[in-house]
């Protein structure tokens, strides 16, 4: 039992470190006011839109890696270096960097289910920010943690 916990903990740390590395490589710091360009403080272009958020596997267990998958549309095609903001039950946002080259499609973001979670149903919300600093609408769904 202890070995499974250690392996799961290592896997979660690995995902966290990968996200930090992605942030460093992409140059996405997540600093700045939502919906504004970090360099000018002004928005430019059109915000992306999200729909049809799903989570797999669902239900899941504490310590597992889940995939958040949503359809996106980015009229300006400026999601090159995007930031996803994920909230669990309305708590503070976790930011995850991603990269895409298409103006529309399916976005999949891996996320570890926190060790401090307890068996319950939680609402997961997702929104994304494009390279111009525009935030999308938020989409959400329920994740069952067992």
pLDDT, position 140: 95
The pLDDT of residue 26 is above 60: no
**pLDDT value of position 29:** 39
* Strands 81-88, 49-56: pairing kind: unpaired
Range of the domain at 63: 2-145
First vs last C-alpha separation in the chain: 16
Q: Is the pLDDT of residue 106 over 60?
A: yes
Query: Which CATH number goes with the domain that contains 44?
Result: 2.60.40.10
How many domains are there within the chain?
A: 1
Please tell me the pTM assigned to this model: 0.69
pLDDT tops 70 at residue 33: no
């Amino acid at each position: 039992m202890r070995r499974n916990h250690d392996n799961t903990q290592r896997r979660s740390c690995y995902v966290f470190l990968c996200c930090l590395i992605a942030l460093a490589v992409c140059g996405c710091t997540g600093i700045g006011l939502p919906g504004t360009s970090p360099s000018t403080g002004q928005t430019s272009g059109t915000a992306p839109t999200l729909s049809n958020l799903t989570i797999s596997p669902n239900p899941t267990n504490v310590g597992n890696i889940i995939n958040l998958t949503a359809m996106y549309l980015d009229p300006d095609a400026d999601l090159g270096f995007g930031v996803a903001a994920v909230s669990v039950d309305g708590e503070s946002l976790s930011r995850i960097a991603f990269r895409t080259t298409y103006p529309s499609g399916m976005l999949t973001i891996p996320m570890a289910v926190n060790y401090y979670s307890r068996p319950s149903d939680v609402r997961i919300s997702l929104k994304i920010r494009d390279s111009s600093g525009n935030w999308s609408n938020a989409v959400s769904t329920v994740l069952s943690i067992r």
